[in-house]
Structure 1
C-alpha cells in the first residue's frame, strides 16, 4: 500500500499526459482556463498543453499526499520531503516557462539527490541508511551493509543518467513511458535482485 501511495503522483502524471495527448484541444482548454495566470507570456503552443496539464495535476496530487499525512499525523519520510520540494520547484518552473525541459530534469535531480544522500551518510556521517531501515528485520555484517548502500547509490546515479538520455533523445511520450516503467518495473526488479542476494547470504549465515 505504501508503494502505491508513493507512486500515486507518478500514475496521475502518466494518465493525465496520455489523456492530454489524445485530447489536445480539451487539454489546451483546461490549461488556458486554469493555468494561464501562472504561465509567463501565455500559452501559444497546443503541443505543450498535455505536459503542462499533467504537471499541474502532479503538483496538486503531491500537495494532497503530503497534506493527508500531516493531517493524520503520519511521519513524512525525508526522501518524500525531498521529492515534494523537487516536484514543486521543477513542476512550477515547467508551468511558468511552459517548457517540458524542467519536468524532464526532475527525476534525474531526484535520483542524484538520493545518490548523494546515501554517499554523504556513509562516508561523511558514518551512517548507513539501508541499515537504519532494515536492521530490525535483517542482521548482516557491516561490510554487506556497506555494499548495499553503495549499490543503491550506484542505482540512483545510473537511473539519473538514463532519465537524461531518454528525456532528451526521444519523444516526450517515450520519456513518460520510461518514467512510469522505471517506477513499476525497474525499481522493483532491482529490489528483487537485492533480496535474492540477501537471502543467499542469510542461508549461508544460518
Structure 2
C-alpha cells in the first residue's frame, strides 16, 4: 500500500497529462501532489526517508522551473537526476565502507560481502543507464511519448531489472528458506 501511495504522484501526473495533453498543468498537479504526499508522510510517519526528500526537492525545483519558464524539459530531467543521485549515493556510501543495499534489505537476505558489492555495482550502473535512457527518450521523441515512457517504459524496465535481481539473489537463498 505504501509503495502504491508513493507512486501516486506519477499516476496523477500521467492522468492529468492524458486528460489535458498539457504538461505544465500535469507538472502543477505533480508538484502539489508531491507536497501533499510529503506532508501526509510527515504527519503519519513523523519523517521522510532520504530519497523521499530528494524526490520532493526535485519535483519542486524542476517542476517549479517547468511551470515558471513554461519549458517541459526541466520536469523531464527529474527522473534522470533522481536515478543519478541514487546511483551516486550507492557508490559514495560503498566507497565510505557502508553498503546501503545490505543495510536496507540485508535483514531478509543473507549474502556474502562480494555478492553485496556486486549487487551495489549492478544497481549503480543500472540507475545511470536508466537515467541516460530517460534523457534520450526526452530529447529524441515527442513530449507525449516521453510521458508514456515515464510511466510505462521506465516502470517496466525497473520491474524486469527487479526480476533479474531476484534471480541473482536466489542463488544465495538456501532451499529450506523457500
Cα deviation, residue 140, structure 1: 0.7
Which residue matches 1:119?
A: 91
Distance 1:182 1:82 in 2: 22
Structure 2, gaps ≥5 residues long = none
Helix, strand or coil: the match of 2:48? coil
After TM superposition, the runs of 4+ consecutive aligned structure 1 residues lying more than 4 A away are none
SS at match of 2:109: coil
What residue in structure 2 maps to residue 198 of structure 1? 169
Residues 1:3 and 2:15 are matched in the alignment:
no
Decide whether the 8 Å contact of 1:7 with 1:183 is kept in 2: no
Distance 2:86 2:176 in 1: 30
Total equivalences in the alignment: 177
Q: Which of 60, 80, 87 matches 2:32?
A: 60
Deviation at 1:104, TM superposition (A): 1.0
CA distance in 1, matches of 2:138, 2:25: 18
**What's the CA shift string for 1:134-189, capped at 9, x where partnerless?**
11111110000001111111111001110010000000000001000245322122
Are 1:109 and 2:109 matched, yes or no? no
Greater Rg over alpha carbons, structure = 1
Instruction: Identify the residue that residue 15 of structure 2 maps to in structure 1.
Output: 15
Is residue 76–residue 138 contact of structure 2 (8 Å, CA) maintained in 1?
yes
Alignment of 1:5-154 (within 5 A): 5-21=5-21, 50-123=22-95, 125-154=96-125
Correspondence for 1:27: none
Look up the SS of the partner of 1:102 in the other structure: helix
Task: Tell me the TM-score normalized by structure 2.
Answer: 0.94
Q: Deviations over 1:54-76 (max 9, x none)?
A: 00000011011110011113431
Aligned mates of 2:154, 2:73 — CA distance in 1: 20
Q: CA RMSD in A?
A: 1.6
Tell me, yes or no, if the aligned pair for 1:94 and 1:103 is still in contact at 8 Å: yes
Please state how far the C-alpha of 1:202 moved relative to its aligned partner: 1.9
